[in-house]
Structure 1
């Protein structure tokens, strides 16, 4: 018995139905971190908050993070890939129940 595995180039795409998330946390402190955090709608908002927080407190160390949602799409009409085989998508029965 032999198997043929085909390698396909999948595409990572940012999910257009969501927005990226940005946050910054002040980690200035010797015994414990300040801990003040902002969750922002964009990198510019997070940077502006850090600038103002530094201006108000003198704190200068931050942990900045960003996150987004992605979809992983197979090339063309490859269908759903299961290790060892390619399964073509099937139409759902009327009512949308997959069982």
Structure 2
């Protein structure tokens, strides 16, 4: 016997097996970006690098990004069940 759950209240959580990655790119420049960048495991390192880079170069424009991995967790009563996809959802029959 199988069941189809039309709506499942998934919870989105950060994957505890990974750490987020913080990155800053100096985008100062008229014709092209400066090109200097840093990746770190903490926003504090990023902010300190930006301050030092600005002091050394006068550059003040940065793009900051944070990358992490997420998991969707089902409610406790549905843990262990495999979600079913509607036929053709991925462009092919899942059969």
TM over 0.5: yes
Q: Which residue of 2 aligns with 1:89?
A: none
Determine whether 1:81 maps to 2:83: yes
The structure number with the bigger radius of gyration is 1
Moved over 6 A (4+): none
SS of the aligned residue for 1:38 comes to: strand
In the other structure, the counterpart of 2:61 is 61
Report the equivalent of 1:51: 51
Flag structure 2 segments of 5+ consecutive residues without an equivalent. 87-95
More strand by share: 1
Aligned residues: 82
1:10-55 Cα offsets, whole Å, 9 max, x none, are 0111111111100000000001110100001111110110010000
Relative to structure 1, the CA distance from residue 60 to residue 19 in structure 2 (aligned partners, 3 Å threshold; closer, same or farther) is: same
Task: Classify the secondary structure of the residue corresponding to 2:72.
Answer: strand
Please give the alpha-carbon distance, in whole angstroms, between the structure 1 residues aligned to 2:9 and 2:82: 13
SS in 1 for 2:28: coil
1:48 aligned counterpart, secondary structure? helix
1:42-85 per-residue CA deviation (whole Å, 9 max, x = no partner) reads 1111011001000000000000000111111111232121135x
RMSD: 1.7
